[in-house]
Chain A
Amino acid sequence: MAKPTTVSTDSEALKSSTPPGRPPLAGLGGPVGWLDDRIGLAKLSRHNLRKVFPDHWSFLLGEIALYSFIILLLTGVFLTIWFKPSMNEVEYTGTYQLLRGVPMSEAYESTLTLSFDVRGGLLVRQVHHWAAMLFAAAATVHMLRVFFTGAFRKPREINWLIGIGLLSMALIEGFAGYSLPDDLLSGTGLRFVDGLIRSIPVIGTWAEFLVFGGEFPGTLIVPRLYMVHILLVPGLLLALIGAHLALVVYLKHTQYPGPGRTESNVVGYPLFPVYMAKAGGFFFIVFGVTVLMGAFLSINPVWKFGPYTPNQITAGSQPDWYMGFVEGAIRIFPPLESHWGHTTWSWQIFLPGVGMLALLFGALAAYPFIEAWITGDKSEHHLLDRPRNAATRTSFGVAGVTWYAMFWIAGGNDILANQFHLSLNTITWFMRFAVFIAPVLAFIVTRRICASLQRHDAEKVLHGVETGVIVRTPAGGYYEDHMPIPVDEAFTISQHKEYPALEPTPAVDENGVRVPQRVSRRRARVRDWFFRADMPKPTADEVTAARSHGGARHAVESSEEQKSVSQH
Chain B
Amino acid sequence: MSSDLEVTRTHPVPDPGIEEHVERWVDVDPAASRRAERQVAACFGLVPLLALGFVAVYFFVPKTWAVQFAGLHAPAQHVWLGLLSGLAILLVGIGAVQWARLLMGDQEISEERHLASSDAATREEALAEVHEGIAQSDLPRRKLIGTTLKIALPALVLPALVPLLDMGPWPGPGTRAATIEKTIWAEGIHLVTDVTYKRIKATDMAVGELVNAAPENIKDLSGEPAKAAVATAKAAIIIVRMDPATIKIPASRKDWQVDGILCYSKICTHVGCPISLWEQTTHHLLCPCHQSTFDLGNSGVVVFGPAGRSLPQLPITTDADGYLVARSDFTVPVGPSYFERDSTHDYKNGDN
Task: Kindly provide the distance from the CB of A72 to the nearest chain B CB, expressed in whole angstroms.
Answer: 15
> Scoring A residues 186 to 212 as 1 if CB is less than 8 Å from chain B, else 0, what string do you get?
001001101110111111111011111
A260 to B112 alpha-carbon distance, docked (Å): 12
* Stretch in contact with the other chain, from A38-46, A115-123, A437-445: A115-123
Are A216 and B271 also in contact (CB < 8 A) when A195-B336, A210-B167 are?
A: no
Q: Does A52 contact B (CB under 8 A)?
A: yes
Kindly list chain A residues whose C-beta atoms are within 8 Å of the C-beta of B338: 198-199, 204-205, 208, 344
Q: Is B31 an interface residue (CB 8 A)?
A: no
User: Which of B113, B167, B225, B339 interacts with A345 by CB under 8 Å?
Assistant: B339
Q: Note all chain A residues with C-beta closer than 8 A to B209.
A: none
A330 adjacent to B271 (CB under 8 Å): yes
* B111 contacts A295, C-beta separation under 8 Å: no
Contact of A260 among B19, B92, B232 (CB under 8 A): B19
Given A311-B212, A315-B276, A380-B116, answer yes or no on A335-B308 (Cβ-Cβ < 8 Å): yes
> Could you say which of A119, A195, A280, A343 has the most chain B C-beta atoms within 10 Å of its C-beta?
A195
Report the interface size for chain B: residues with CB under 8 A from the other chain. 108
- Asked whether B306 lies within 8 Å of A335 as measured between CB atoms, the reply is yes
* B226 CB-CB contact with A under 8 Å: yes
Q: How far is the CA of A188 from the CA of B229 in the complex (A)?
A: 13
Chain A, interface size category, equals 35 or more
Q: Is B17 an interface residue (CB 8 A)?
A: yes
The yes or no answer to A518 lying at the interface (CB within 8 A) is yes
B133 near A: Cβ within 8 Å?
A: no
Return chain A residues, CB-CB under 8 Å to B273.
188, 191-192, 313, 317
Q: Interface with B: A12-20, A21-29, A285-293, A472-480, which one?
A: A285-293
Q: In the assembled complex, which residues on chain B have CB atoms less than 8 Å from the CB atom of A208? A: 171, 338
> Using Cβ atoms and an 8 Å threshold, which residues of chain B touch A508?
none
At the interface, yes or no: A436 with Cβ under 8 Å from chain B? no
Nearest chain B residue, comparing its CB with the CB of A330: B290
B7, A267: Cβ atoms closer than 8 Å:
no
Q: Name the one of A217, A270, A519 contacting B5, with C-beta atoms under 8 angstroms.
A: A519
Interface presence of B343 (CB below 8 A): yes
B242-283 vs A, Cβ < 8 Å mask (1 yes, 0 no): 000000000000000000000000110011111011000000
Q: Of B82-90, B138-146, B200-208, which binds chain A?
A: B82-90
Whether B340 pairs with A95 at a CB distance below 8 angstroms is no
How far, in whole Å, are A102 and B191 apart by their CA atoms in the complex? 23
Q: Which residues of chain A have C-beta atoms less than 8 A from B38's C-beta?
A: none
Residues of B contacting A85 in the complex (Cβ-Cβ under 8 angstroms): none
Is A320 an interface position by the 8 A CB rule? no
The answer on a CB contact under 8 Å between A205 and B306 is no
Q: Does B165 contact A (CB under 8 A)?
A: yes
Q: Mark out the residues of chain A between 273 and 307 whose CB falls within 8 Å of any chain B CB in the assembled complex.
A: 273-275, 277-278, 280-292, 294-296, 298
Which of A195, A210, A376, A543 contacts B2, CB < 8 Å?
A: A376
Q: Given B109, B233, B337, which contacts A346 in the complex, CB threshold below 8 Å?
A: B337
Q: Is the CB of B86 within 8 A of A289?
A: yes
Distance in angstroms between the alpha carbons of A258 and B108 in the assembled complex: 13
Chain B, residue nearest A333 (CB): B306
Q: Could you give, for residues 253-269 of chain A, a 1 whenever the CB lies within 8 Å of some chain B CB and a 0 otherwise?
A: 00000111111111111
Q: B320 an interface residue at 8 Å Cβ cutoff?
A: no
Of the residues B10, B230, B339, contact of A344 by C-beta under 8 Å? B339
Number of interchain pairs (Cβ within 8 Å): 374
Are B86 and A217 touching (Cβ within 8 A)? no
**Interface stretch among A230-238, A399-407, A491-499?**
A491-499
- Chain A residues within 8 Å of B13, by CB: 461, 487, 490-491, 494-495, 540, 543
Question: Contact at A281–B214, with CB atoms within 8 Å?
Answer: no
Q: Which residues of B contact A414 (CB under 8 A)?
A: 288, 291
Are A199 and B291 in contact, with the CB atoms below 8 A? no
Asked if B41 is an interface residue, CB under 8 A from chain A, the answer is no
Q: Which residue of A lies closest to B214 (CB)?
A: A311
Question: Per-position contact with A for B52-80: 1 when CB-CB < 8 Å, else 0?
Answer: 00000010000100000000101101110
Evaluate contact between B7 and A277: CB separation under 8 angstroms.
Answer: no
Who on chain B is nearest to A250 by CB?
A: B116
Question: Of all chain A residues, which has the CB nearest B18?
Answer: A260
Segment among B97-105, B147-155, B311-319 that sits at the interface with chain A: B97-105
| Residue in A52, A55, A213, A336 whose beta carbon sits within 8 Å of that of B308 in the complex | A336
Expressed in whole angstroms, the Cα–Cα distance for A273 and B103 within the complex equals 11
With the chains together, A294 CA to B13 CA distance in Å?
Answer: 51
Q: Is the CB of A87 closer than 8 A to any CB of chain B?
A: yes
The answer to whether B17 and A196 touch across the interface, beta carbons within 8 angstroms, is no
B304 at interface, CB cutoff 8 A: yes
- Decide: A543 and B12 in contact? CB cutoff 8 A: yes
Query: Which A residue's beta carbon lies closest to that of B304?
Result: A425
Please report the C-alpha to C-alpha distance between residue A331 and residue B287 in the assembled complex, in whole angstroms: 11
B350 interface contact, C-beta 8 A: no
With an 8 A cutoff between CB atoms, is B341 at the interface? Answer: yes
Residues 300-342 of B, flagged 1 when their CB comes within 8 A of A and 0 if not, give 0010111111000000000000000000000000011111111
Q: Could you say which residues of chain B place their CB within 8 Å of the CB of A494?
A: 11-13
Q: Is A470 an interface residue (CB 8 A)?
A: no
- B100 CB to closest chain A CB (Å) equals 4
B159 proximity list for chain A (CB < 8 A): none
Asked if B274 contacts A311 (CB within 8 A), the reply is yes
Complex contact B63–A209 (CB within 8 A): no
| Residue numbers in A under 8 Å from B94 (CB-CB) | 281, 284-285
In angstroms, Cα B234 to Cα A216, docked, is: 9
Flag whether B27 is at the interface (Cβ < 8 A): no
Q: Is the CB of B271 within 8 A of A349?
A: yes
Residue A316 is within 8 A (CB to CB) of chain B in the complex: yes
The reply to whether A191 and B271 contact each other, CB–CB distance below 8 Å, is yes
Bound form: Cα–Cα A498–B7 in Å: 7
Instruction: Please indicate the chain B residues that have their CB under 8 angstroms from the CB of A286 in the complex.
Output: 93
Let me know if B285 is at the binding interface, CB within 8 A.
no
A380 touches B115 (CB 8 A): yes
Bound state CA distance, A95 and B62, in angstroms?
Answer: 13
B344 and A287: CB pair below 8 A?
no
Residues from chain A with a CB closer than 8 A to the CB of B17 are 259-260
Question: Given that A376-B2, A428-B291 are known contacts, is A488 also in contact with B271, CB under 8 Å in the complex?
Answer: no
A-B pairs with the 9 shortest C-beta distances?
A295-B82, A337-B308, A288-B90, A195-B271, A281-B96, A284-B93, A260-B18, A285-B93, A291-B86
- Can you name 30 A-B pairs with beta carbons within 8 Å? A116-B63, A119-B81, A123-B85, A188-B273, A195-B271, A198-B337, A199-B337, A203-B339, A204-B339, A213-B168, A214-B168, A217-B230, A219-B226, A263-B9, A269-B106, A274-B104, A277-B99, A281-B93, A285-B93, A286-B93, A287-B90, A288-B90, A288-B91, A311-B232, A317-B273, A331-B291, A346-B308, A413-B291, A491-B14, A542-B12
**Contacts A288-B88, A289-B90 supplied; 4 other A-B pairs, CB < 8 Å:** A120-B58, A192-B273, A281-B95, A284-B89
